[in-house]
Amino acid sequence: LHAARIIIGTESVQAEEKLRKIYEPFQLPIVAMNRRSAEMTKYACNDFLALKISYMNDIANLCEIVGADVNMVRKGIGTDARIGSRFLYAGCGYGGSCFPKDVKALVKTAANSGYQMRILEAVEAVNEEQKSILFRKLMKHFRGDIQGKRIALWGLAFKPETDDMREAPSLVLIKKLKEAGCVISAYDPVAMPEAQRRLPVGVISYGKDIYETVIDADALLLVTEWKEFRMPSWSVIKKLMSTPLILDGRNIYDKTELEETGFIYHCIGR
């Protein structure tokens, strides 16, 4: 109902005319093209958005090394009208049903046609690597020894406002934490039933809310930026945790505020 445009793919003038009449009440831009071009447009659009995400994650990782702040960089380049401000947020990788599938689809389509999509191959590689960024930060903080550590996860869905866990960064993170011998407690406002289907109790435990999840935790890892997670009672959380360590995978918290409250805080690209 609120699309940016309507793409019509057809070789039939008659079909195009009928479709234009159907979509005319939406008062949206209509672009008609042949079917193959319409298919390519769909994939190219999603893959370009995936590219922006992986690009910013690559930039964020470099920002940490050279002493830049990715949030400032994002604001700076986002004001360039040629680039725009959307999909420039650094984090722990994209997931879901569209971006991973569509990137793979064009890479495979190209390979079948004897062509290599080198940029999209890099987009996919960067994203898969980024899903482990919080694990690497955790390992670095504890100098490689996280056996038996109690880890709290906030967020399991690949993005807020959904229970979708397809290709979710949380799944990669949980796998690595389990292999390293961690004890994991997780909470998500919506995706708990789906998580329990994929990860039965025994693999990890589930908290009834954000506070129960962090009891005796050695680290809190923010994976999905639900609104519910944005303004918790930090004083309560600090008392509940064994170690006041927060790894923010979506850059939603204020570093100064948390450090003044007594937390050790790490995020992406700062």
The answer to whether the Cα torsion of 237, 242, 245, 246 is positive or negative is negative
Set 63, 92, 98, 182: catalytic member: 98
Sequence letter at residue 35: R
Residues 6+ apart with CB under 8 A from 107: 117, 120, 121, 124
Contact 47, 103 (CB under 8 A): yes
In angstroms, rounded to a whole number, what is the distance separating the alpha carbons of residues 30 and 81?
23
Helix axes 118-130, 99-112, angle to 10 degrees: 150
Query: Which of 121, 140, 152, 133 is closest to 51 using CA atoms?
Result: 121
Please report which helix (H) or strand (E) contains residue 31, including its range: strand 30-33
Tokens encoding 133 = 């960024």
Does the active-site annotation cover 45?
no
Name the DSSP letter for residue 4: S
Cα separation, 229 vs 127, in Å, equals 24
Sign of the torsion angle spanned by Cα atoms 35, 39, 44, 45: positive
DSSP state of 26: G
Contact (CB, 8 A) for 149 and 183: yes
Nearest residue to 195 (alpha-carbon basis) of 213, 181, 180, 218:
213
Got the DSSP string for 167-200?
A: T-HHHHHHHHHHHTT-EEEEE-TTTHHHHHHHS-
Q: Catalytic amino acids?
A: 98
